[in-house]
Chain A
Amino acid sequence: MARDAPAGRDRAMAARDRIRPGRLLSGVASAVLIASGRRRGGRAVIIATAVLILALAAGVAIGPVAVPFGAIAGTLAQHLPWHPAVSVPRLYSAIIWQIRLPRVVLGALVGAMLAGGGAAYQGVFRNPLADPYLLGVAAGAGLGATAVIITGGSPSLLPVAAFGGAIGAVGLTYSLGAGAGRRGEDAGQRGAAGTASILLAGVAVAALLTAAQTYLQQAHSQALQSIYSWILGGLSGATWGQVKLIIGYAIVSAAVLLAHRRLLDVLRVGEAEAGTLGVNVPRLRLVVVVAATLGAAAAVSVSGLIGFVGIIVPHAVRLIAGPSYRVLLPVSMIGGAAFVVLADIAARTVQPDTEIPIGVITAVIGAPFFLFVLRSRRARADSS
């Protein structure tokens, strides 16, 4: 837009002249920009994946009995179809296949769901403090688990009750909050009011369910120890059965969230503007919340309440790899998986005889790491 642009036909010709070399230039620029954008996102995914693989290997190798890497490779090979003949000492293969591998795989799934869900919640509510427990997942799961423990129900019911409690709580929050948002239909504020009332409903539902859970817990003080250890969360006693229980939810949740990563970027301009760009914001919000909640509820049902992962991992990724959800969602999932696996190694090895609750480790590692990243990359902080 030259300020001294000549009038009429001259201007039209000038415009054509401007465009022609521009075409060529923009073609080249386009290729470079597309490539560099993909390269940046791609590099973050590759680095996170490498870290995850190392974490998984370390998680299997490290423990009271040190396992050589060769035995890990051999054991994995034994479980491949048409596997080559490999011999691994029975002790090693039992430790690897029955104890450590299910534990690291479960930890990775849990971490991916919590961190991916946290990133998605932060995007859809455009709130940097959002985490996957925001709408009542933790309170609902806690109440469900407590109910099973105090009634002496079978331990196999625990994940089912926790999952049901978590889904029920979020369903309650969403129907109350979205309904209130619709009634308070003050034109213009509808989108924002909808988000705010859902968050407030989440606070209220969580408070209510936590009160109920606390009451039950106090009324059955003999069960206090087992309730408390469930709530603190942990991966001890992980089995392939638990992995099978949640892997379906994990895959569906991750696929749906990843499919919406571009729309979450559109939402960064705000709900009203995203609407004018053709995004059905209420539907986007509902789909993303359902997917993130399914994943978080599945994670919580087998691991208890592991804190910090859903908020620290996405923010660390945002500070390192930028705030675009196209990168943020996949890298948060991979990074969250690696983070929980590493935290779990610490949880079971720092003290020789007992396990430290993994939530303590995620906070002790996560908080200083997060502060470090925050300090060193503050200039790029942008949570919009």
Chain B
Amino acid sequence: MIGVDDLRVSFGTVVALDGVSVSVARGEWVALIGPNGAGKTTMLRAIGGIFGSAGGISLAGVPARRLSHRRRARLIAYVPQHPRLPAEMSGLDYVLLGRTPHLGYFAVESRDDHRICLDLLDRMGLTDMAGRRLATMSGGEAQRLVLARALAQQAPILLLDEPTSALDLGRRVDALELVDELRKERSLTVISAIHDLTLAGQFADRLVLLDRGRVAADGAPSAVLRDDLLSGTFGTGVGVLRTPDGELAVISHRSGQSAARKR
């Protein structure tokens, strides 16, 4: 569904991605993990077409650079880490923005577009937000609203940049469960950048560990979430524990206490 071949991106003299190759199958959920500055967001933005890049990205078999803005937006929906929320816009109007790639250049939204967006608001538990201004929404509501806007694009690929960074523990799991439900329901292909390694391992089919713009590891959660691999990339003591019901939990060690712990 998505092919990334030898992707290179640099900002002036700083190389952000240095020859990354990854391919993602239809319906798969791939999580990009890695320390700050490893290139997770850059990779998502390159795939989302926010900026040009050297190297090949293909979407559903078509080279990305050959796609018009509209066609790309019908294939990929992108949820940015820090979306810009116009304070005076209503929740419904915001979600309706997601219909843009399906509207003609001069068209306005039809009754069908409204119905699609109101259904999504309902699905997200946001029906009450339809007429409310974005300025009045909590972090969790805004997060789900942005997801609703992305889903309104009805694109088969969903890119999520730190979708849970603004949420508390319970809401994080809720939000990712919701993404997973939608993924199964609509056979979406999901790529997400995510800091929380435990959540990444719980939800993604596959993890891609990025380190300074290169792929350090790529595989199933159990193959990537390993003490030695993670300690090397994150530069601190990292422990991977297996819970009684078979889930992997990643914890970091305090640098001063590792000796005490071993005793």
Q: Which residues of A contact B (CB under 8 A)?
A: 1-3, 5, 11, 15, 18-19, 22-23, 25-27, 29-30, 33-34, 36-37, 185-188, 190, 259-260, 262-263, 265-266, 268-270, 272-273, 275-280, 322-324, 326, 380, 382, 384
Would A23 and B119 be within 8 Å (CB), given that A1-B144, A29-B127, A277-B73 are in contact?
yes
Answer yes or no: B198 CB below 8 A from chain A CBs. no
Q: A23-B119, A37-B93 are in contact. List 16 more A-B contacts (CB 8 A).
A: A1-B125, A22-B123, A26-B121, A27-B115, A29-B118, A33-B92, A185-B52, A187-B16, A188-B42, A276-B50, A276-B77, A277-B97, A278-B73, A278-B100, A324-B88, A382-B88
Chain B residue nearest in CB terms to A256 = B106
Chain A residue nearest in CB terms to B153 = A277
CA distance A326 to B10 in the complex (A): 39
Cβ of B49 and Cβ of A275 under 8 Å apart?
yes
Cβ of A3 and Cβ of B122 under 8 Å apart?
no
Chain A residue nearest in CB terms to B71 = A278
Minimum CB–CB distance from B39 to chain A (whole Å) comes to 12
Q: Identify which of A5, A18, A323 contacts B86 (C-beta below 8 A).
A: A323
Which chain B residues (173-191) contact chain A, with CB distance < 8 Å? 174-175, 177-178, 181
CA distance A22 to B123 in the complex (A): 8
Cβ of B51 and Cβ of A384 under 8 Å apart?
no
Cβ of A279 and Cβ of B69 under 8 Å apart?
yes
Find chain B residues with CB under 8 A from A25 CB: 122, 127
Cβ of B108 and Cβ of A262 under 8 Å apart?
yes
Find chain B residues with CB under 8 A from A260 CB: 106
Answer yes or no: B220 CB below 8 A from chain A CBs. no
Chain A residue nearest in CB terms to B171 = A3
CA distance A279 to B84 in the complex (A): 16
Cβ of B118 and Cβ of A380 under 8 Å apart?
no
Q: Which residues of B contact A (CB under 8 A)?
A: 9-12, 16, 42, 45, 48-53, 68-70, 72-74, 76-78, 80, 83-89, 92-93, 97-98, 100-101, 103, 105-108, 111, 114-115, 118-119, 121-125, 127, 130-131, 135, 144, 153, 170, 174-175, 177-178, 181
Chain B residue nearest in CB terms to A34 = B114
Cβ of B11 and Cβ of A188 under 8 Å apart?
yes
Minimum CB–CB distance from A12 to chain B (whole Å) comes to 8
Q: List 26 A-B contacts (CB under 8 A).
A: A5-B177, A25-B127, A27-B118, A29-B130, A33-B131, A34-B111, A186-B11, A187-B16, A187-B51, A188-B51, A266-B97, A268-B86, A269-B85, A269-B86, A272-B50, A273-B78, A276-B76, A277-B98, A277-B100, A277-B101, A278-B72, A278-B100, A280-B68, A323-B88, A382-B86, A382-B135
Find chain A residues with CB under 8 A from B177 CB: 1, 5
Minimum CB–CB distance from A270 to chain B (whole Å) comes to 4
Most chain A CB atoms below 10 A, which of B68, B103, B118:
B118
Cβ of A278 and Cβ of B101 under 8 Å apart?
yes
Cβ of A190 and Cβ of B92 under 8 Å apart?
no
Would A22 and B122 be within 8 Å (CB), given that A188-B45, A269-B83, A276-B49 are in contact?
yes
CA distance A26 to B72 in the complex (A): 29
Cβ of A275 and Cβ of B69 under 8 Å apart?
yes
Most chain B CB atoms below 10 A, which of A190, A265, A277:
A277
CA distance A6 to B255 in the complex (A): 40
Would A15 and B53 be within 8 Å (CB), given that A33-B130, A188-B11, A276-B76 are in contact?
no
Find chain A residues with CB under 8 A from B12 CB: 186
Find chain A residues with CB under 8 A from B51 CB: 187-188, 190
Chain B residue nearest in CB terms to A21 = B122
Would A279 and B123 be within 8 Å (CB), given that A33-B92, A273-B83 are in contact?
no
Find chain A residues with CB under 8 A from B78 CB: 273, 276
Find chain B residues with CB under 8 A from A380 CB: 88
Minimum CB–CB distance from A92 to chain B (whole Å) comes to 44
Cβ of B69 and Cβ of A15 under 8 Å apart?
no
Would A265 and B50 be within 8 Å (CB), given that A1-B144, A30-B118, A384-B87 are in contact?
no
Cβ of B88 and Cβ of A273 under 8 Å apart?
no
Cβ of B119 and Cβ of A187 under 8 Å apart?
no
Cβ of A1 and Cβ of B48 under 8 Å apart?
no
Q: Identify which of B9, B130, B175 contacts A187 (C-beta below 8 A).
A: B9
Cβ of A22 and Cβ of B48 under 8 Å apart?
no
Would A273 and B80 be within 8 Å (CB), given that A26-B127, A266-B97, A268-B89 are in contact?
yes
Would A1 and B174 be within 8 Å (CB), given that A26-B115, A188-B11, A268-B89 are in contact?
yes
Chain B residue nearest in CB terms to A269 = B84
CA distance A279 to B49 in the complex (A): 12
Chain A residue nearest in CB terms to B119 = A26
Find chain B residues with CB under 8 A from A185 CB: 52
Would A278 and B69 be within 8 Å (CB), given that A33-B131, A269-B83, A273-B84 are in contact?
yes
Would A278 and B86 be within 8 Å (CB), given that A2-B125, A25-B127, A27-B115 are in contact?
no
Minimum CB–CB distance from A189 to chain B (whole Å) comes to 8
Find chain B residues with CB under 8 A from A26 CB: 115, 118-119, 121-122, 127
Q: Identify which of A22, A27, A278 contacts B74 (C-beta below 8 A).
A: A278
Cβ of A187 and Cβ of B76 under 8 Å apart?
no
Cβ of A22 and Cβ of B127 under 8 Å apart?
yes
Find chain A residues with CB under 8 A from B98 CB: 277
Cβ of A279 and Cβ of B100 under 8 Å apart?
yes
CA distance A142 to B118 in the complex (A): 52
CA distance A80 to B166 in the complex (A): 65
Cβ of B49 and Cβ of A30 under 8 Å apart?
no
CA distance A132 to B85 in the complex (A): 26
CA distance A273 to B153 in the complex (A): 13
CA distance A2 to B108 in the complex (A): 33
CA distance A186 to B53 in the complex (A): 11
Q: Which 3 A-B pairs have the closest CB atoms?
A: A278-B73, A278-B101, A26-B118
Minimum CB–CB distance from A22 to chain B (whole Å) comes to 4
Chain B residue nearest in CB terms to A259 = B106
